[in-house]
Amino acid sequence: MVWREDSENAGLSLVRFENVGLRYGIGGEILKDISFAIEPQSFQFLTGPSGAGKTTLLRLILLSLKPTRGLISLFGRDSGSLNKDAITALRRRIGVVFQDFRLLDHLTTYENVALPLRVQGRDESAYRGEVVELLRWVGLGERMHVLPPVLSGGEKQRAAIARALIVRPELLLADEPTGNVDPTLARRLLRLFTELHKSGTSVVIATHDLGLMDQFDGARRLVLGDSRLHIYE
Amino acid sequence: MVSLIQASRRTAAGQTDSDGEARLRRDMPLVPATSIAGRALVTVIAIMTFLAALTAGTAILIAEASQAWRASIGQEMTIQVRPAVGRDLDAETAKAVEIAAQTPGVASARAFSKAESEALLQPWLGAGLDLSELPVPRLIVLKLDGSGKLDAAALRSTLTDKVAGASLDDHRLWLARLSIMAKTVVFVAIVIFALVVVAMMLAVAFATRGAMAGSREIIEVLHFVGAADSFISRQFQRHFFRLGLRGGAIGGGTAILVFLSADAASSWWRATPSGDQIEAMFGSFALSPLAGATIVVMTAAIAGITGIVSRVIVFRHLRRLA
């Protein structure tokens, strides 16, 4: 893992929220006074009941939503001062696994996993071996020619995870990554995340699966409830 | 033995792997290539291109035909010698021929005989009439040598002074009218082409907005995996450029086929009186290299415009999203 200059040298948090609040329109705040930091090479679960705002918080980290108040900094940079190109550059350092996978149905599994490299303008022949190797590692070596509608739920989940991992992100955000798979596959996926964490990636897993969290005792828990965040180290 | 089998299995597996990689589908367009909206847009672009190409081709045909008429008329002049009381028309005609033949820039001067002049009137007055009592003017046809040395004003003045009843017709009025007609046709063709391009740009703008709405999830995913706006808009531009190229090729190709068919049909009718009239008006329908090149360039331009319009619309849309 190659750490970038601003997060490595400055010893800064990858993500820092300070008194962040978010409301839609004129309604009440759905997130209040959220303050936390995600440190390099850390592992945390983001949990809370359905509708508590886990996905919204992940979208704030991805800068696809702007907070109503407070400060968000990403890799040591204030999000308010970032232009579109800078946001794009920061997103390339983050891997995301969506709850509903978000695979593009007209692209094969291989093309979906290679997408983050393709959008960077890299030559296909330069990353082909890497993508094929990762697909085999997540058990999709035989399914790389297949379009997503043909894949099972578990296969889609693994393809989505492979797509998030292919850029060797510094930060991995996974939204309910085990929500659509059986317990055995859930354990396998968790092992995959822990291996990734050991290799130096910070991991945030949004889940309300207590069983999954119990399998990883050393993880920090960020619990959303009543629009506020409670942190259990 | 066992190791041999394992080695052969490894080789077979390796073969399968490399086959698998070789069969990988790569770099499919990120904007889905086929959709009902896409097919409708191809049809609209094909119709627009067809109309634009037909207009441009016809305008070029008429402009070229008019140029040919002007060139042939411009190489000739006519002296008319009207009968005058107490004058010998033949002698006056011979004098006019002599003056004209000695004028620099005139290659030849030939007087129509009385019989030829009467023959020219036959379609209006009928055959078998005695025209000797009528004051039928005599015509002298001058062929110019194309050197441009002819001073028409000086020749006109000399003829007026020395030949009774002579006048010089240099077809200037005809040439001016032909020129105006040709310019009008070309202007109308340019206006029609401009209207077609504007209509097509609007159609592409609507189609792009539709495609953006339909590809909202794709755009969101592309943003999350780190695609820059320029990359996303390039994908849409490429998609619409392909549609534009396909529509343009269909429309332009059909227009070329129409011209080729018209040319074949006109050569079929060439021997008939109506065929002669049409040929006199338009020349042959054969597409000149200029007309063919214009249609090809037009097709490419329409594809290019389609791509650029979609890129602009996508950029605006992405800016709004931001």
DSSP sequence for A70-121:
EEEEETTEEGGG--HHHHHHHHTTEEEE-TT----TTS-HHHHHHHHHHTTT
Mean pLDDT of chain A: 87
Which position has the higher pLDDT, A228 or A25? A228
pLDDT tens by residue, A153-199 = 889 988 999 999 999 899 999 998 887 677 887 887 888 888 888 88
Please judge whether B26 and A144 are an interchain contact, meaning their C-beta atoms are less than 8 angstroms apart. no
Please judge whether A102 and B228 are an interchain contact, meaning their C-beta atoms are less than 8 angstroms apart. no
Cα B29 → chain centroid:
35
* ipTM for the predicted complex: 0.85
Query: What are the start-end ranges of the E strands in A106-195?
Result: 171-175
Please judge whether B225 and A115 are an interchain contact, meaning their C-beta atoms are less than 8 angstroms apart. yes
Mean pLDDT in residue range B96-124: 83
At residue B156, the pLDDT reads 87
Please state, in angstroms and rounded to a whole number, the distance separating the CA atoms of residues B34 and B239. Answer: 10
Domains of chain B: 31-71+175-321 (no CATH), 83-164 (3.30.70)
Is pLDDT at B211 greater than 90 in this prediction?
no
Phi-psi region of B102 (alpha: psi -120 to 50; beta: other; left: phi over 0): alpha
Query: Which of A98-102, B19-23, B264-268, B274-278 reaches the highest mean pLDDT?
Result: A98-102
Is pLDDT at B116 greater than 50 in this prediction?
yes
Mean pLDDT in residue range B188-202: 87
Measured between CA atoms, the residue of chain B closest to residue A132 is: B21
**Is some CB atom of chain A closer than 8 A to the CB atom of B24?**
yes
Select from B27, B30, B224 the Cβ nearest to the Cβ of A62.
B224
Please judge whether A108 and B225 are an interchain contact, meaning their C-beta atoms are less than 8 angstroms apart. no
Question: CA of A217 to nearest chain B CA: how many angstroms apart?
Answer: 30
Mean pLDDT in residue range B107-130: 78
At residue A38, the pLDDT reads 94
Please state, in angstroms and rounded to a whole number, the distance separating the CA atoms of residues B99 and B112. Answer: 16
Percentage of chain A with pLDDT > 90?
53
Contacts of residue B144, Cβ cutoff 8 Å, sequence gap at least 6: B74, B75, B76, B77, B105, B106, B107, B150
* The domain over range A14-232 is classified in CATH as 1.10.520.10: no
* Contact assessment for residue B284 and residue B267, using Cβ atoms and an 8 Å cutoff: yes
pLDDT tens by residue, A69-78 = 999 999 999 9
**Is some CB atom of chain A closer than 8 A to the CB atom of B99?**
no
Question: CA of A120 to nearest chain B CA: how many angstroms apart?
Answer: 7
pLDDT tens by residue, B130-159 = 667 777 888 898 888 877 777 888 888 888
Please judge whether B229 and A84 are an interchain contact, meaning their C-beta atoms are less than 8 angstroms apart. yes
Cα A89 → chain centroid:
16
Number of CB pairs, chain A paired with chain B, less than 8 A apart: 77
Is pLDDT at B13 greater than 50 in this prediction?
no
Mean pLDDT of chain B: 80
pLDDT tens by residue, B26-79 = 667 787 766 666 788 889 889 989 998 888 888 888 888 787 777 777 788 889
Is pLDDT at A7 greater than 60 in this prediction?
no
Taking CA atoms, B61 is separated from A5, A103, B182, in Å, by 67, 54, 10
Contacts of residue A2, Cβ cutoff 8 Å, sequence gap at least 6: A168
Is pLDDT at A32 greater than 50 in this prediction?
yes
Measured between CA atoms, the residue of chain A closest to residue B218 is: A104
